[in-house]
Amino acid sequence: MNAGSKADTKRQSKFSSLMADPIAAISFADPHADPYGHMGLVRNPDGSVTRQFEHPKTPVSSYDGSPILLVKDVPINQSKNTGARIFLPKEALESFPGRKLPLLIYFHSGGFVILSVATTGFDDFHRALATEVPFVVVSIEHRLAPEHRLPAAYEDCLEALHWIKNSQDEWLEKYADLSNSFLMGSSSGGNIAYHVGLSASSCVDDLKPLNIKGLILHQAFFGGNKRTESELRALNDTFIPPCVTDVLWELSLPVGADRDHEFSNPVLSIKPGQFDQIKALGWKILMAGYENDALFDRQFEIAKMLEGEGVPVVTNFVEGGYHGIDMFESTKTKVLCEVVKEFIISFVTTA
């Protein structure tokens, strides 16, 4: 068995352990034969999809009695069925009222099409971000494509920022330092953090007292029509090969758009002065990823583009790995948390 096959087997084993047996069997249909079925979807003749199952979710009640964490769900826009899951480290209660924790506004993965803030596979990741950095974490529930194509997710997440700044939620008021806030996303959530960050940079006065200091793009999901070298290397991947990401873009981009659309391939759509406000605000962008990720070349290209535009970028690109490794392997989760922690501390030491 080669290294790639071993990695695929490890990922599938970890993911399958989170699911009931029949669901796991559907989830790992051959992606090359049926990329929709691989994600638990059936494509209908009219272009819509039927969801074969709901990925397992962890109820808030499962955190009852946790010695380190308090968790609750809150609605944001009930007409859109959007909301947030808030993770509050208990150390915030112990340090109150003397010290508040930084606020992390997190956008989950799932290719804009599947998964949610409550997806069981995200439990350890949320817990680690909240307790090991630590942060008050607000993980945003946005609408999914294809029922709600982009820019719906961007709009929902920007709306969430306004909800946070106006929120009278006790946890946010007492324990979160809104003046020390960061946007972070994994995979498609990293794409959201990029686009929502750009939008937020143009309306910072409207968002006060929420003060965003930086963006964290974690294995961010970007695309394009022409295959990159890292995508070509992943053609035979059995977990998330390019044929699967192609389908995710097909389902999430505006109808008729291709993968060179600005939502998926922003490098092709740079406008003069587009990043001037981000630079003026002193924001920094952390980009984290792995070289064996099929999306690596896209992430690297975005980092180089941002650097070329004069945006302060911190890169943490690591050899090996695969897409989603920080969700599946606890040792990697801890390393990522340390990288994020160093990034946050840098704002204090350079202030």
Query: Half-sphere exposure of residue 87, counting CA atoms within 13 Å on the CB side?
Result: 31
Q: Which of 156, 293, 297, 326 is catalytic?
A: 293
Catalytic status, residue 293:
yes
Selecting among 142, 195, 261, 323, the annotated active-site residue is 323
3-state SS record for the chain: CCHHHHHHHHHHHHHHCCCCHHHHHHHCCCCCCCHHHHCCEEECCCCCEEECCCCCECCHHHHCCCCCEEEEEEEEECCCCEEEEEEEEHHHHHHCCCCCEEEEEEECCCCCCCCCCCEHHHHHHHHHHHHHCCCEEEEEECCCCCCCCCCHHHHHHHHHHHHHHHCCCHHHHHHEEEEEEEEEEECHHHHHHHHHHHHHHCCHHHHCCCCEEEEEEECCCCCCCCCCHHHHHCCCCCCCCHHHHHHHHHHHCCCCCCCCCCCCCHHHHCCCCCCHHHHHHCCEEEEEEECCCCCHHHHHHHHHHHHHCCCCEEEEEECCCCCCHHHHCHHHHHHHHHHHHHHHHHHHHCC
- Catalytic status, residue 167: no
Q: Among residues 327, 317, 350, which one has the least CA distance to residue 129?
A: 327
| Residue 237 appears among annotated catalytic residues | no
Task: Considering the candidates 181, 187, 188, 201, report the single residue annotated as catalytic.
Answer: 187
Catalytic residues: 187, 293, 323
